[in-house]
Amino acid sequence: MRLAPRKDLNQCAWPSCTGACTHIFCDFICVYMMKRNEKVILYLLLYIDDILIASSDKQEIQKLKMKLNGEFEMKDLGNAKKIHGIDIIRDRSKGELFLSQQGYLRKVVERFRMMISAKK
């Protein structure tokens, strides 16, 4: 999802979360999690003008997107397949989500010509 700011994105609290979100950390990427009854129901990652929302509950994602849409101009880019060089792999039948940097590692190995290096 891509954002165009109507408000300051550097604020470390989402007004739409109204206390329901916990700010986990903010360095280059700000990470928030939303809990309900002590159970994490949603993660939100913010990097400059990119947002990644992860949840097992599609309704929670839709509710948050509607709230954020009221505060920011947004463009929904659909299901993420990659973010910042990290591949996102889903197995919906098992409810699993995997992150992989295999493509990045392959480029590093090729760059340093280590494709046929011997194991020690």
Q: What is the pLDDT of residue 9?
A: 45
Q: What is the pLDDT of residue 88?
A: 92
Q: What is the pLDDT of residue 13?
A: 47
With vertex at residue 75, the alpha carbon angle to CA 91 and CA 45, rounded to the nearest 5 degrees, is 55
Sheet holding 96-100, edge to edge: 82-83, 86-91, 96-100
Nearest CA among 74, 76, 73 for reference residue 6? 73
Taking the C-alpha atoms of residue 61 and residue 43, their distance in angstroms, rounded to an integer, is: 9
pLDDT, averaged in runs of 10, over the chain (120 residues): 48 51 69 84 85 88 89 88 88 88 90 76
